[in-house]
Amino acid sequence: MTDRKPPGMDFESWVDRQIREAGDRGDFANLPGYGKPLPSLDTPYDEMWWIKGKMHREGLAALPPALALRKEAEDAMAAVNAARSERQVREILTEINEKISTALRMPPPGPPLRLSEFDVEDVLAAWREARSE
């Protein structure tokens, strides 16, 4: 936008005209999310919204890696409880066990990991027992 506001023209009407002309030219048609509702329209206001969004877009975590893996292990166990088949349980446990194994070989920075790999057969036995009740 290299146009300058003409002298004597109200600033607000000049901006409105610029926006209208850009819309008429189709300058806004290729923007991401064009024509879609705002995703956060119904969420309560958070003064840290921009920082959280930037961290999410950049793939940064607010938790240290060790704590994030502990949280992921808890989430994996919740997913095991909701799994519908033994195959799903094995897939979930195999995935989290690989991550835990990697973290145990090369400990991440931050607090101690305090995790060990899940015993797949023990977890499956508990899962079967919970399903039979």
Say what the pTM is.
0.56
User: What are 31-66's pLDDT values in tens digits?
Assistant: 888 888 877 778 888 898 888 889 888 988 778 889
How far is it, in rounded angstroms, from Cα 32 to Cα 23? 15
User: What are 101-131's pLDDT values in tens digits?
Assistant: 999 999 888 888 899 999 999 999 999 999 8
Banded model confidence at residue 95, pLDDT cuts 50, 70, 90: very high
